[in-house]
Structure 1
Amino acid sequence: MIFARTVLVAASLGLAGTVSALAQSTTPPPDACVGAPWDAFDFWVGDWNVYAPDTDEAPGPYLGHNRIERINGGCLVTEHWVGASGNAGDSINVHDPLIGAWRQVWMSNGWYIDYTGGLDAAGAMVLTGEAYTVQTETRAPLRGSWTPNADGSVTQQFDQGDGEGNWQTVFIGIYVPKADDPRADEAAAARGE
């Protein structure tokens, strides 16, 4: 028992010394998560205005704003969504080395989504999992896809499953870089700016 305590105290002191040395360092550590597979979602990183798809009759309406950042040494991608109606939500996205796949966990006022996946052959990020509606305590299969487009935009699509292999599209959003958005004034007005 005394030996175990001695080992525990020695280990704690060693860890404390390491933490102390890191805290005192003036040089930030190098990014830990660089290259593949960590950069697979980089096409989504940015400050975006999001619109419904255009129709033959009119441009798609403004749906909201999304800010996607890669932080913590490149290991974590965060999402901060504010919809045109005021709804908001956030997600964390990480390449999980324990399962060898990308994972996203989303939470908003009323929705929880947890799904995993990776890049498909065409370069789209495709994640499949489950959505949970807090108010009704219901669960449903959900598939999300993020497809980079040649013009620098990204198409996001959500499909809800019935548990029997059938999927129905429930959302399509076109992400336009905020800095390059020709409809930026319209989006700002919708946000009340």
Structure 2
Amino acid sequence: MWLCLPLARAQDASPPAPPAPPKCDTAEYRQFDFWVGDWEVRADDEEAALLGRNRIERSADGCRLLENWSSARGGSGQSLNGWDRRYRVWRQFWIGSDGGVLRLEGGLREGAMVMDGELKGRDGGVQRQRITWTPQADGSVRQHWETSEDGGASWSTAFVGIYRRADAVD
């Protein structure tokens, strides 16, 4: 019987609990919160035709933003967005219904979220991409997508959309 007692005590001792994962509760994780919501997206003026709808939601305990885009012309896409604490940048990974993939990174600059990346063209050339999301005083968000064929020396507008909260336009 005495031999069983040390064995029983050894079984009672459990390994220490693993440390809790770091929380996504620093200010950096909230920098893009102005984009969270259900949106109608139109061109620059309020009377313009609907370009699409976008739902941006927080997930994974606030560690990421999920985008679900639905174009008025039938296309769709999703992106995963998050603050990379190791490299101290925001990252976006987009996949469209056409199979297109876009990877961007950047951060908050003068109150706007600015991310950029590169796309390889069909001809093998590299095209720079830059997207800027700017919160407006009326609660809308302006998205300006630009492209550059010369490494960023000059930029052309590819898309401008004004995000208005869907509940505000009903």
| Residue 39 of structure 2 is aligned to residue 48 of structure 1 | yes
Distance 2:47 2:150 in 1: 34
Following TM superposition, the consecutive aligned residue runs of length 4 or more in structure 1 with deviations greater than 4 angstroms are none
Cα distance change on mapping 1:148 and 1:131 into 2, 3 Å:
same
Cα distance change on mapping 1:63 and 1:110 into 2, 3 Å:
same
* SS of the residue 2:167 aligns to: helix
CA RMSD of aligned residues (A): 2.4
Quick check: 1:31–1:73 contact (8 Å CA) kept in 2?
no
Q: Where is the strand percentage greater, Structure 1 or Structure 2?
A: 2
**Per-residue deviation, residues 77-99 of structure 1 (Å, max 9, x unmatched):** 01000000110000000101121
- Partner in structure 1 of residue 144 of structure 2: 157
Distance 2:40 2:107 in 1: 24
Q: Where is the helix percentage greater, Structure 1 or Structure 2?
A: 1
Unaligned runs of 5+ in 2: 1-13
| Residue 109 of structure 2 is aligned to residue 120 of structure 1 | yes
Cα distance change on mapping 1:99 and 1:137 into 2, 3 Å:
farther
- Partner in structure 2 of residue 70 of structure 1: 58
* SS of the residue 2:28 aligns to: coil
TM-score, normalised to structure 1, is 0.72
* SS of the residue 2:27 aligns to: coil
Unaligned runs of 5+ in 1: 1-12, 19-28, 185-193
User: What amino acid sits opposite 1:101 in the alignment?
Assistant: V
Pick aligned residue for 1:177 from 156, 165, 168: 165
Distance 1:14 1:80 in 2: 42
The structural deviation recorded for 1:162 is 1.2
- Partner in structure 1 of residue 91 of structure 2: 103
- Partner in structure 2 of residue 90 of structure 1: 78
Distance 1:162 1:106 in 2: 21
- Sequence identity (%): 40
* SS of the residue 2:116 aligns to: strand
> How many residue pairs were aligned?
153
Distance 2:101 2:15 in 1: 40
